[in-house]
Amino acid sequence: MSEESRGLRIDHYKKGSGVQSGSYREVAERMKELQRQQSMAVANMMKIRYKIVVMSSKGGVGKSLVTSSLASALALQGRTVGVLDADFHGPSIHKMFGIPTGYGMLARMDGTIDPVTVPPGVKIASLGLLVPRDDVALIWRGPIKASAIRELLAYVNWGPLDYLLVDLPPGTGDEPLTIVQSMPRLSGIILVTIPSDVSKSVVKRAVAFASKMKTPVIGIIENMSYYRCPHGDVIYIFGRGAAREIAEEYGIPFLGAIPLDPRIRECNDTGKVFISEYPDSEAAQVVRDIASKVVDMVENGKARVPEVRDEEE
């Protein structure tokens, strides 16, 4: 199959980027299109049992690693899983599953898009599959990003799924806000932090975001928590206990602490699933335990909206 016929490309995708200036009729037609997209997105999302967003106000904490690892663990437990990469300025989910940038997604005659299925049976959709090269920057303002999210929610053919995980960029701005407001029956948010005090102070803003948006928090994960030396000693390179402190302060479940393991980096760089390559490793066991806790929290309706006192009140 030729490159032109194989997939949807970014130039085709960007045709709808929000309401533009023009005549009343043009604006009215665009508003009708936005309403149609929202209706399609709701219908599409209702086919998915559980929808989870993975977020952190802090960059560099490993949200994409957590998202890809959790998706793989859920798939290996027999769930049908999809991952939507909503980090438009730094998409990486496709690479963690071994798919090159610019691979494309199949666009059908009805305008819908097929996600790419990767081992162990996870479906992924990412703008990283649409841009031609890694050095292509998407210099988009908020309205274009909001439109892109609506189109992905409306037009990607996920089919019936048990779980859809959304990998969000850092912060509490356009992408998280659009996702939370556009996805019906959102199961909740998984927060990711590293053990440092700086990360802890910033991730608290994500808790406040969840509280203000009345969105349940499934729990918090501490990534890069510690390093276990070959002879057994444990070294806390980035600090200790940030996730547990946040969990205790806001009454959020602590889901687990993922240790540092150089093989995780190697698998990410080569597009291999770490928990499949090294199933007996300590980190893989932690990820599987986290996945089991997530299943329990979500499928039994245990996630709750955190209470954060507004200092301005």
Average pLDDT over residues 25-47: 87
Residue 95 within any structural domain of the chain = yes
CA 48, chain centre distance (Å): 15
- Token pair listed for 81: 């899983």
Express as a percent the part of the chain with pLDDT over 90. 80
CATH number reported for the structural domain that contains residue 209 in this entry: 3.40.50.300
Domain range enclosing 96: 3-14+23-299
Is 192 within a domain?
yes
Report yes or no on 307 lying in a domain.
no
Does any domain span residue 309? no
- Let me know if residue 108 belongs to a domain: yes
pLDDT tops 60 at residue 260 = yes
Q: Residue 313: inside a domain, yes or no? A: no
Q: What is the mean pLDDT of the chain?
A: 91
- Residue 191 within a domain: yes
User: For residues 99 and 119, what is the distance between their CA atoms, to the nearest angstrom?
Assistant: 11
User: What integer is the mean pLDDT of 75-83?
Assistant: 97
Alpha carbon 141 to its chain centroid, in Å, reads 20
> Omega before 253 cis (within 30°)?
no
Asked if the structure places residue 131 within a domain, the reply is yes
- Between CA 144 and CA 125 the distance in angstroms is 18
CA torsion angle for 149, 12, 118, 135 (degrees, to 10)? -90
Per the structure, the count of domains in the chain is: 1
